[in-house]
Amino acid sequence: MAQSDVTTEACVALLDRLVAFDTTSAKSNLALIDDVRGQLEALGIATRLTFNDEKTKANLWATVGPQDKGGIVLSGHTDVVPVAGQKWTSDPFKMVERDGLLYGRGTADMKGFIACALAYGADMTKRDLKTPIHFALSYDEEVGCIGVKGLIADMAENLPLPRAVIVGEPTSMQLIGGNKGGRSFTAIVRGVPGHSSEPGRGANAIMAAARFITYIEDLQQEFCDNADPDCPFDPPYTTFDLGLVNGGTAGNIIPGECQITWGFRMLPDDDSDAIEARIRAYAEAHIDPPLKKISADAGIEIIRRVDTPPLRPDTTSPAEQIIRHLTGLNQSGVVSYGTEAGHFQNAGVPGVIFGPGSIQQAHQPDEFIAVEQIDKCRKFIGQLLDWAETGA
């Protein structure tokens, strides 16, 4: 069994290097991917890339160890959320350390985990790994887990099915075995514009949108009232959100269009298709008819933008058992935010969420991760590699 010489300082240095790449979801991540690919291939580690349609973004997959069997995936997304409109004490893309905390966009969510994993690249190549270790780096997780779909499709078609995946989202190195899923939509309500002094000659898109919004609010209350008090999620029911409403052109014009950005975060046991179908049925029965009575071109259109499956808790899964064995943790929790783990689970790869840093720092100005968390993650990955050498 090889003796690891990977230090916390090496992980921090690599994190500094990763933070310097502005991989905000609206931008390309290719510079970061090319840099990581260069690091790995310099060590003799082959990589696979899958791209978006425009070839402006890429996922990266790499395997160390036996190429003919599935192993443990260390999974992370390379994109970060925007810093626009946030007040930062320092440049968000120049990592700084203050009092044992590393500040920079993506330090917690989730380049800290990626840095710890990649820091072991050279160490991995010196080991006789019986169980392979896979790197899986995705794009556009923050805008709907878009990139990981192509990565998983390529994996399923061309590679051995992995045994388990560890998605390194920030959990303060606590074991998370389940997360809510989520669907996001745009509802476009089209009315008939006209002079506000003659409301009967038009169809008010905002008023129709208000009825739709009220229905979503009523649904939220229904799910809340029927919540299972023993449900481990917080809150313990499927939640609905209405994030953006935009409509109208002037105060004296009947609004001809109103757009609503909305969605829901469902419990793993709730039927997301049934929830969506129920909402669409309401819109068809109660929003469309009054509008189409004025004009056949009026009505409501509901467009699904994001569909992120939940991670269903399974305490018997190989993913949970490996973490428990290596860390001594005997309990797993759940979270209400979405991750890529559900996509892996749906592809037959059991997963957990387990990584350094706190979700409370994610997406915030002056985002940070504690050096102590980097050190804990470093030690865990070293333990994982020791285990992978045994072929257990």
> Minimal CA–CA distance to 168: which of 108, 125, 227?
108
Q: Which residues contact 240 (CB under 8 A, 6 or more apart)?
A: 216, 217, 219, 220, 223, 262, 263, 264
User: Is the separation of the CB atoms in 17 and 32 below 8 Å?
Assistant: no
> Minimal CA–CA distance to 75: which of 342, 265, 336?
342
- The structure tokens 């260390």 sit at 74
Give yes or no: 79 in active site.
yes
221 burial type by CB count under 10 A (0-12 exposed, 13-18 middle, 19+ buried): exposed
User: Catalytic one among 109, 123, 140, 141?
Assistant: 141
User: Catalytic one among 16, 79, 142, 320?
Assistant: 79
User: Is the separation of the CB atoms in 299 and 288 below 8 Å?
Assistant: yes
Q: How far apart are CA 363 and CA 141, in angstroms?
A: 13
Reading the block at residue 279, the tokens are 């909402």
User: Is the separation of the CB atoms in 106 and 80 below 8 Å?
Assistant: yes
Active site residues: 79, 141
